[in-house]
Every structure is written in structure tokens, then in C-alpha cells.
Structure 1
Amino acid sequence: MPDFEKFKTRFKGDIVTPDDADYRKALARWAVNAERRAKIVAFVKDAEDVALAIKYARLNSLPIAIRGGGHSPAGASSSEDGLVIDLSRHIKGARIDPDKKLAYVGGGALWDIVDKEAIKHGLATVAGTVNHTGVGGLILGGGFGWLTAKYGLAIDNLVQATLVTADGSVVTASDTENPDLFFAIRGGGSNFGVVTEFVLRLHPQRAKVYHGTLVFPPTVLEKMVEVTAKWWANVGENEGMLQMFGLGPDGNPAIILFIFYNGSEEEGRANYKSFFDLGPVVDFTKEIPYENVNAALNEGMAHGKGVYQKGFANNHYEYQSIVQAYEKIISVSSPEFKVNLIFEYFPIGKVISVPLSATAFRRDPAPLAVLLILWTKDAEGTTERARTIAYDLARIVSGAELTEVQNFGYSNYDPEAVSVTGHRAQIAYGENYPRLQAIKKRYDPDNIFNKWFAITPA
């Protein structure tokens, strides 16, 4: 490739190609089926490196992908025969300013470091539910988490970002500086540049919270639906829950609840009494350090598996359809191919209180649901099998044919995110799409950043 040696000489970080011993490691992602054979993996050290990598890729007509945490099952952080701008090796720190209650976070950081550094000062921000997820992908796609009920989405707590745009410029985006770009990146993903630093608003956070796992037999399903509906109708800002239907830890069918209460164990158990009255067969809930909350799901979400996830709107939580879906889940699941139906109950009052025109993110007035399929033996056709099962189950759970928007669900869960057609982006951004097209034309008119709901420039 032209000018490769010149590129390597000027580049301060690490460049990995197929001839290097660590090439396979450089391609590794959370989901093995999301790995692609890039021509170059550029582990950037700073914004100047990012600009060099963009320029080199453009000169050599190499498609670009941006890797932060590498957590996209759709493959948005990988690039077949392209160049990957990888921030995970050198731009991964988190610095806390306790007086201003701000976190300065590298574009390649994981939530693990943010949680741990912030809580040292009695502070926290909205993260996800798995702490080896990248900060960048979660934030740029919206960002739900255990603190959403109290503080909204992760993007609602983004104060400022530093980006390298398509022409190599380093720009700041905030409410007062490049506000059009700030609007766009809050939900618009990697369409507008490479974020090298996020500045996040922090909030006071108690050191310990009530959290953990409850396992129930499938026989309580009908009562579980009733209890959940009553709880959800009166849910408060200190709580949240994930409900998972699939195989339990022992390989038998189970209903697994991951519950959270931002308070003491005594308060938490009282808050969830109606669920305890259903008789869990396993109770692993207790008061734990806050920084461990987002580590609780890590074991089940470990790297190196095949992954397919399909989000959709949970606006039809109804016993008969869940029974039908659960029967199908059990019939197709095995220890090597686990199908999980997860209802995410993060109270969304704060989320939908933000005007639709404030950020690029499409704010839907329904809780989330996601089908998460994990397999340990990757084989040709497994991803397509998982896709068929996921779409069938989404139709069953919905109780009727879903509209396009309902079938789409949460953008960070969409399995077709890497589609380069503008139609997926139009669904993702709804009424904000035309405005985003105009911003795209200004910052990336040639659409070189096109790995995540690619927006067609106006």
C-alpha cells in the first residue's frame, strides 16, 4: 500500500498487520462472530494518531471501523480488509474532578474503570449493566443502565466530547461549542468522527447498594406477570430489574431476576417483597459495593462466544405470549446454544422527559426487551439460525405484528446496525434523521464513518 512506511514512521501508537504475531489478538472481539480480518489495526495514542490513520485510510481507499470496547455483536468495530482505529490500548483512562463532579474518560475506556474511579469520591454516572462494555459505544448509542431511573440516559450525562472528524480536524462538541455536532453524537453513534475523550457528569452515590440474582421455577410465570405489572406501575427512581427467561445455572428452565435497589438491603427486600412472596429457589441478593453492580453479569457475558441480540419494544408483557415464547426457547436451547429472553425494566420517566429534538437518540415510551442468544461452538449458519429464532420470538412476545419502529427497539441492540443502507438509519433516528443528514454533510460528506446506522449526507 502506498506510503505505508511513511505512515508507520509518523504514527506514535502501534500498527498491527496480518504479518504480526499479535494480529489475531488485535482482531478479537466480545462476540467471535463479529470478528473481521482487517488489513491494518491502528492502536492510536492520541488525536494526532487518529487523524493520521484517517488520512492514510482515505488515501488507500480502506474502509474504516472504530473500536472502543469491541462489544458490538453486529461487527461495527471490525472491518474486513479495512483499517481499524483502535482506542482500547492507549486511550482508556478515566480522570475524576470531584469538585466539578466530572469524569474525563478516554474514548477506548471500559465502564469498569469509570465505575471504580468515580466511586472513590462517592460519585457515579449512568453506565450499562456489564462493565467490560466500552464507554464509547454505549454513550454514542444512548446508554441505559441501573441509574437511568434517576439520571436518564448516558447521553443525558454527557457534558462534552472531543472528536477527530473526517478531514482530520480535532473539534470539541458541547452545548456551547459546535452544538449541532453535540446534538448528533448523542445517539448518532460513530457517524461523525472518532471520540477521543468524553466528559461525563457525575452524581453523588452511596457506597453500597442492594443487588443480585433471584431464580424462580417456571411454575410461577403467571403470577410473575401479575406481580411485575403491579410493581412497574408504581416503580421508583431508586430501582430497576432485568427479567430473563431461559435456562438456569443448572441447565433447567428458569426465570431469573437481576434486581437493583439504590439503598440498603433492608429497604431493597421490602421494596421487592411481592417477588420474594413468589418463592425464589435461589437468592443471591445482598448489599454490595456500588462498583461491583456492573460486574455481576460479567461471567455470563464473557468474551469469546458467538452472540446474536435482537431488541424490540416491550409494550405487550402478557402471560399467554410469554408462555408460548418460553416453550420455544426451551425447545431450541442447549448448554452450547442458549436463548435468553430479557425484559429490561429501567424506569424511563427521565428518559422521555427530554424533548425528542434535544438529542439524536429516538426516545420511545416503552421499556426494552432483548433476545440474547449465546453459543460456544461457532459454525457456518449459526448466526443465521440465531437470527431466525430471534425474529420469531419477537413476533410471539409482541402478541401481534410489530411496527418497524417497535421491531427495531433500542439501537445498541439492533443486529443490522452495520447496514450501509439509509433505511435502517431512518428508523433509528426517526424525525431527527433529516437534521442528522445535514450535520453529516458538514462533518463527513464522503460518509467514511459508515459502520453504525450509516447516515446518508444531505
Structure 2
Amino acid sequence: MPNNQLPAIKGDVLTPDSAGYKQAIARWAANAERDASIVAFVKDSEDIVKCLKFAKEHGMPIAVRCGGHSAGGASSVDGGLVIDLSRYLNTASVDPVKKLAYIGGGALWETVDKAAIKHGLATVGGTVNHTGVGGLILGGGYGWLSGQYGLSIDNLVQVTIVTADGSVLIANETENSALFFAVRGGGGNFGIVTEFVSKLHPQRPTVYAGHVIFLPSKIEQVVVATNKWLENIKENEGMFQVSTVGGPEGKPLFVLVIFYNGSEAEGRENFKWVFDIGPIADATKEIPYEHLNALQNAMAGHGKGIYQKGAIIARPSPDLVAKAHAKFAELVQIHHLGGGVIYEYISLKKVNSVPADATAFPRGLEANLMINISWDNSIQNLTHDARKYAGELTDILRGDEVDSLVPGYSNYDDSATAAIGEEKAKAAFRTNYPKLQGIKKKYDPENVFNKWFPITPA
């Protein structure tokens, strides 16, 4: 589609014959790349309004890109228009007196973390810091600080949002409150957020964190000890446990990523039970706070094929975790895969203290489980196969308990297309789905925004 068909905007417009087009459609997950007809790097709300009007007039599907981290392709579109916030709406500023962060809709979490900690402040952000703020917040937003401060949406004070009809609205608890309810967990279904305003909290400059590596023979012992620890988990600590492979020989490993919001001395004492089990490596230390959300960056690099599946696990079973680990190692070896099976343990008391009907995001949850399968997408797109393998792994972890694994954290799911049908959205939003349908009818009756758990207007 010719460049000049989109009315002039302040930002940049790229088409398939433009220099930089391939980079513009590239995504964190290589298999999420789609051949857009137009990529518009917008500078402000006015640019977005023009793009939405153009897409509507020409019957073009749209996608919105912030950080481009959706493995399911929510930020990409074939033959349509990508409204990309990442180039110009990517900053974060801090009001240290009000303890508020003003965050561009296309910013990355690294930008937020660094801006806030300069003032001794922090908010709940993504555990991979090159993740986009927009997608993570709109989908709920777990982070290392969730034990202390809840989800990212629980710290959200206000958004500026462009809705499907081109209105530019402020939404908060008192102004457009139904819309504010919807964007706190309802994803991009209701418009394009150009600015998030989030609460900040006092944060010490350093924390104790890092990787502890065990051989697979220790898995059952680790999980037994973990279940005991979870009975009294504190709000200022957390742990991810990862079945993965490492080193040039692809050796199966069980990796713990631990976090304690305090000094190294306090952290080592707190996690003494971990070291008593006998890891083969300990890379934990006191680190600058702004490095915390980069600990998993190496495991989440750009450019691979990625398939993600989320679930919720009420209580990890030592033997089933060990079996799933062995199965994952087998899949990796046979099919030349990467990634990991990730169990996320953070105190959820604060998260679940929020009433289920207070935000679009459901509550009453248990620990997150994410299966992340990666491969070299330049050789072959293995999305279909990876979906099958992820199903095999969740079947193992389910054991004999049919309902032991329920649909997981929506930001970890692959269901990011209108083709998935309504059932996935109903499962994601649970009892809040009918209310969201009513809000959708008001703000997006034609279902323009339909790339992530699309909600059918009432």
C-alpha cells in the first residue's frame, strides 16, 4: 500500500519497500512476525487518531506495538496497520514528591526501573526488563515486588487512552471509571494507552538476588523444601524455579532465581534452606535494584521462535516436577529446543486481597507456571510442535488431578488472536467477562481491538 495513503502524521510511516521495514516488523519472538502493510511510529494521540480513522476507512486490521513481547503475535498483523508506540512514546519521568511515575505507552521496564531508583523509588515491573510496559500492565503485571505491592495494575493510578472512535480519554477511579476497571487486566481490548501513571514505593538501592544451580537429582528435595517455605513465604522474598538446559553440552539443570529485598547477609540467612540442599553453583549476591529485573534477560533474548503456555499450580508435586523436568530435557535433546519450565513463587497475599470485581484481572490465584519453548525459527517454524510439547508437559504436571492446573496468567498464554474464539476470553476473565462485554460495547462496539483475548461486545 503506497506510503502517501496514510494522512501525514508527526511520526514515521514505513511500508514494505521502506528502509528499515524488516526491523520494524521484527518481534521478540521470531514466529510472531507478520507482514504488515503499514507500520506507523506515532508521536502522540493525534497521530493515533489519524491512524485509527485511516484503518477504519480502508477496512484494515490493526495491531498495537509497545515492547513487541507477545509470542502469540498480539503486536503484529498481516496486511494491516501496526500502530507502534516504541520509538517516540517510550520515556518515563518521576515525581518524587507525589511518588508517581509517568510512563509512555511504548516504554520498556528497564527505562522505568532506572528512572525511579534514582529517587530511591520503584514500582511493580516485569521480571524481564526489555518487556514493554504497556502489554505487561494491561495484562495484570506480576513482578518481584508483587508480594509487597500487588500487581502492576494495583499500582496504576491513571491512563490516557485513545479509544476506537478516536476519543482521547483520561481514565482513573473517578473519571471513566468503568474503562479504568477494564484496562486493569483487560489487555488492549479497549483502546491504545499513550501514558500510564503508576504509584512508586520507597526502595533500597540494592537487593540480594541471583541464580542457584542444582543437578536434577536434587529436584524432589528442593520441591519438598519449597512447599514448606511456601507455607510462610514473606512479602519481601520470591523465587523462580526453572527446569532448563545449560552449557555447551546442553546439560539438564534445575535453576533457582532467588530474590530478597534486603542485604546479602539477610538474604543468605533467609535462604539458608536452599544452600543446605547442596547446589553445584551459587551466583547470588547483593546487586543494584535496577539489575534485578535483568536477571532473566539472558534466558529471554530476542529473535528465537517462542511458544509460551501458562497455567496455575496450586502446590508443586516433587515427583511430578521431576518427571516434567526429565520430559523437557528429552524434548530439548531430541528436537533441538531451548527454553524452560518455570515455576514462579511470590507471596500472593497482597494480590489476592483485592476483590475479584475490583479490576478486570481475576483474583484468588495460586502460583504461576510458564512453559517456554524456544527454537531457531530461521530453520523451521515449530509453533505447532511446541504447542503439542507444552501440552505433554502440562499433562505430566496435572497428574491424576484433572483440575490441578487451571488456565494461567493471561500474559503467558499464546491466545492472542481473534481466531481463538470466545471461550478462551471467558476463561481468562472469569466472572468479570459479562461486565467487560458491556464496557467493550460502549468503547469498541466494532471490535477494532481484537488481538489479545478478544472480548465480544455485549
Give TM-score, length-normalised by structure 2: 0.97
Change (3 A) 1:383 1:6: closer
1:211-226 aligned within 5 A: 211-226=209-224
- Deviation of the 1:379 alpha carbon: 4.1
Instruction: Give me the identity figure in percent.
Output: 55
Counterpart residue type for residue 261 of structure 1: Y
- Deviation of the 1:336 alpha carbon: 4.2
Local SS of the residue matching 1:325: helix
Aligned twin of 2:446: 446
Taking only aligned residues, the RMSD between alpha carbons, in angstroms, comes to: 1.5
Aligned twin of 2:407: 408
- Deviation of the 1:385 alpha carbon: 1.0
1:342-353 aligned within 5 A: 342-353=342-353
CA distance in structure 1 between the partners assigned to 2:324 and 2:418 by the alignment: 28
CA distance in structure 2 between the partners assigned to 1:416 and 1:114 by the alignment: 27
Is 1:203 paired with 2:201? yes
CA distance in structure 2 between the partners assigned to 1:31 and 1:442 by the alignment: 33
- Deviation of the 1:402 alpha carbon: 4.3
Aligned twin of 1:16: 14
Local SS of the residue matching 1:432: helix
Aligned twin of 1:304: 303
The superposition leaves residues 252-283 of structure 1 with CA deviations (integer Å, 9 ceiling, x where unpaired) of: 11110000000000000000001100111111
Local SS of the residue matching 1:115: helix
Local SS of the residue matching 1:299: helix
1:345-384 aligned within 5 A: 345-380=345-380, 382-384=382-384
Q: Bigger shift: 364-373 or 266-275?
A: 364-373
Counterpart residue type for residue 370 of structure 1: M
- Deviation of the 1:380 alpha carbon: 4.1
The superposition leaves residues 206-261 of structure 1 with CA deviations (integer Å, 9 ceiling, x where unpaired) of: 00000100001111112111110111111101100000012134521111000000
- Deviation of the 1:159 alpha carbon: 0.2
Local SS of the residue matching 1:415: coil
* Structure 1, unpaired ranges of 5+: none
Local SS of the residue matching 1:127: coil
Change (3 A) 1:81 1:153: same
- Deviation of the 1:417 alpha carbon: 2.5
- Deviation of the 1:296 alpha carbon: 1.5
Change (3 A) 1:181 1:14: same
CA distance in structure 2 between the partners assigned to 1:321 and 1:43 by the alignment: 47
Aligned twin of 2:73: 75
Aligned twin of 1:397: 397
Counterpart residue type for residue 309 of structure 2: K
Report if aligned partners of 1:395, 1:401 keep a CA contact under 8 Å in 2.
Answer: no
Local SS of the residue matching 1:300: helix
Aligned twin of 1:113: 111
Aligned twin of 2:329: 330
Change (3 A) 1:6 1:225: closer
Report if aligned partners of 1:425, 1:453 keep a CA contact under 8 Å in 2.
Answer: yes
The superposition leaves residues 70-96 of structure 1 with CA deviations (integer Å, 9 ceiling, x where unpaired) of: 000000000011100000000000010
- Say how many residue pairs are matched: 455
Report if aligned partners of 2:356, 2:364 keep a CA contact under 8 Å in 1.
Answer: no
* Structure 2, unpaired ranges of 5+: none
Report if aligned partners of 1:332, 1:339 keep a CA contact under 8 Å in 2.
Answer: no
CA distance in structure 2 between the partners assigned to 1:370 and 1:19 by the alignment: 38
CA distance in structure 2 between the partners assigned to 1:445 and 1:305 by the alignment: 36
The superposition leaves residues 190-220 of structure 1 with CA deviations (integer Å, 9 ceiling, x where unpaired) of: 0000000000000000000001000011111
| Equivalent of 2:181 in 180, 183, 193 | 183
Local SS of the residue matching 1:42: strand
CA distance in structure 2 between the partners assigned to 1:189 and 1:198 by the alignment: 13
The superposition leaves residues 99-128 of structure 1 with CA deviations (integer Å, 9 ceiling, x where unpaired) of: 000000000000000000000000000001
